Amino acid sequence: QVQLQESGPGLVKPSETLSLTCTVSGGSINSYYWTWIRQPPGKGLEWIGYMYYSGSTSYNPSLNSRVTISVDTSMNQFSLKLNSVTAADTAVYYCARVGRKGSRPSNIDFWGQGTQVTVSS
């Protein structure tokens, strides 16, 4: 059974960079897309971006200039960096696996449990 686990600081100061890692166990990071999704407190889900294991990416246009997703196949991990954070970036951050159909991502199947990140001084 594939499992995903988010890790990283739970508290980040305004204007700094939020960095999270998602560790994948029970399966290979190869041949899949990997995505980050967040949920501000009491609000809905927001897609941050996804990356194919070999490098192609797609980001939410509203976050595009601040987001970087990367994959480390040797560690079976993928990461999220969001810079210049503000209180509006306070959320539960989820990582998830996405299958591939043809040349596109298809089928979000396994999710991490989520990690709370608070932006505050």
Partner 1 sequence: QAVVTQEPSLTVSPGGTVTLTCGSSTGAVTSGQYPYWFQQKPGQAPRTLIYDTSNKHSWTPARFSGSLLGGKAALTLSGAQPEDEAEYYCLLSYSGAWVFGGGTKLTVL
Q: Report yes or no: 115 and 7 within 8 Å, Cβ to Cβ.
A: yes
Distance from C-alpha of 103 to C-alpha of 76, rounded to nearest angstrom: 22
Distance from C-alpha of 48 to C-alpha of 71, rounded to nearest angstrom: 15
CA 11 to mean position of chain CA atoms: 17
- CB closer to partner 1 out of 47 and 53: 47
- CB closer to partner 1 out of 18 and 98: 98
Q: Minimum distance from CB of 94 to partner 1 (Å)?
A: 6
Q: Minimum distance from CB of 111 to partner 1 (Å)?
A: 5
Residues in touch with partner 1 (CB under 8 A): 37, 44-47, 50, 58, 60-62, 94, 101, 104, 106-109, 111-114
Q: Report yes or no: 95 and 70 within 8 Å, Cβ to Cβ.
A: no
Q: Minimum distance from CB of 46 to partner 1 (Å)?
A: 6
